Chains A and B, each alone.
Chain A
Amino acid sequence: MDDLIFTAASIVCFLSALAVVTRKNPIYSAVSLILFFGGLAVIFLLLRAPFVAGMQLIVYGGAILVLFLFVIMLLNLREEELGKEKGGRFKAFAAVAAGALALLVIVPVMAAETARDGFGPLASLPDGFGSVDHLGLALFTQFALPFEVTSVLLLAAIVGSVMLSKKHV
């Protein structure tokens, strides 16, 4: 059952991710991205991480992409404004760059996984793994410092964007 769902979710993820970069109309790219996050949330669920799955949908699917769509819809680009397709050379370069990036991810993962005993089942997880309590405990004890540092970083980003967007302070 898990395998079946995983296969379906991966196919959805793969196709939608492909659509994100191939669609010419940015609206469709954004829509595909939403679909992609949906598939990703399913995969997180399969990985016994329901909180992350939920956050994936709430934060990315529900909030950030809405803002993306907001901007795209307000610009409301028409066919002629989107400009011509870039040339083949540009595309080839893009493909090579994307491939290299993919390798950067795939190689360490393969190395790490094969170092252990391959893609085994997720049976050996501790009880309550991925639950809110677990995550909360981890964040506020073990990773309290990185967590707080990240929040300071985000705060700095917010203050910075407010500074930039205000005409006179």
Chain B
Amino acid sequence: MYAFLIPLLKIVVVMAGLFGAVPVLVYFERRIAAFIQDRLGPNRVGPMGLFQPLADAIKMIFKEDIVPDHVDRVLYVLAPVLAFVPPALAFAVIPFGHPIRLLGDRIDLAIAPAGMGVLFLLAVGSTSVYGIAFGGWASNNKFSLLGGLRSSAQMISYEIPLVLALVAVLMTAGTLDLGRIVAQQAEFHLGILPAWNLFHQPIAFLIFFIAAFAETNRLPFDLPECEPELIGGYHTEYSSMKFAMFMMGEYVAMISMSALLVTFFLGGWSFPGIDPTSTALLSGIASVVAFAAKVAAVLFVFMWVRWTLPRFRYDQLMNLGWKVLIPLALLNIMATGVVGVA
């Protein structure tokens, strides 16, 4: 009974944190966008507009849920779910704190600490394209279809450099266990410099970072839904909560990607001052806070970049992916191998 309760509790806490973060992110996205453009942004609902996401959510819930006549109903309804579930699933294996000992039991601060965690991430990540592709096709609308197809092509293309970048990291780490990857990064070089993979694998970090933007369809790679060309892209025909689920899927994907980036390159939950070998509750909480803070910082960069860079053209996007990132990632793997052998 007790053994069953702990994972359940972890699931509830993590998912609640995840979904709770989405409206906060929406709020910050709007405020940051406004500030960067010398505007004020939402500041009417509640103090400093803090209840704006609540108003948005209520609006979304009460909007009429339209299913157009000409759509393929099964896939049309399935698509928002598929867009939303895979990014959320990724959190199943991400360690968000070091293990703690509670009531005499050792508890890993990850929902399912699996030895093959990276494989699981990649498998789940590879299915995230379907939500958008189905949404685009099922809408039975040429703009949606084009958006969906662009998105699938973009995601497959950028998945390759993403995985190749990770391969280099895995080569240095020598394991597929995310917990161990993080634990390795908790050490220090020369006593001060944290042993983050960012410093071991700067090129892999850069490739992963760029590919992460493309994988989450964020600007400057938001071609599947670029308004001047495709109206709304794959979610043109969606309304109400179905539309909201696409939006939430996008933000959850952003959080997952940031979490992965933090886990693989920025030392995960580790932070100078936190003893990785400790199993104390307080230290555990500190590690969770460190993890969240890092993720938040990466999320800020996501937004910051969005309001700085213009959108790529589709051929430029493909050129960057296939002609620059993939060869670069392959070279990186080779270099890593050579250094590792030497």
Contact = CB atoms under 8 A, between A and B. Distances in A.
Given A31-B75, A34-B130, A54-B122, A132 B176 contact: yes
B75 A50 contact: no
Contact of A57 (B72, B123, B145, B153): B123
Interface band, chain B? 20 to 34
Contacts of A63: 126, 156, 159
A61 interface: yes
Nearest to A57: B123
Nearest to A76: B145
Nearest to B128: A62
B276 interface: no
Chain B CB count within 10 A is highest, among A28, A62, A69, for A62
A58 B137 contact: no
B335 interface: no
B301 to A, nearest CB: 27
A59 to B, nearest CB: 8
A66 B156 CA distance: 8
B116 A66 contact: no
Interface residues of A, number: 23
A15 to B, nearest CB: 15
Interface string A34-76: 1000000100000000110110011001110011011001101
A17 interface: no
A12 interface: no
A58 B152 contact: no
B119 A61 contact: no
Top 10 A-B residue pairs of the complex, sorted by shortest distance between their CB atoms = A62-B126, A54-B119, A57-B123, A50-B116, A73-B137, A58-B126, A54-B123, A66-B152, A58-B122, A58-B123
Interface of A: 27-28, 31, 34, 41, 50-51, 53-54, 57-58, 61-63, 66-67, 69-70, 73-74, 76, 131-132
28 contacts: A27-B72, A27-B137, A31-B75, A50-B115, A50-B116, A50-B119, A51-B119, A54-B122, A54-B123, A57-B127, A58-B119, A58-B122, A58-B123, A58-B126, A58-B163, A61-B123, A61-B126, A61-B127, A62-B156, A62-B159, A66-B130, A66-B133, A66-B152, A67-B156, A69-B137, A73-B149, A76-B137, A132-B176
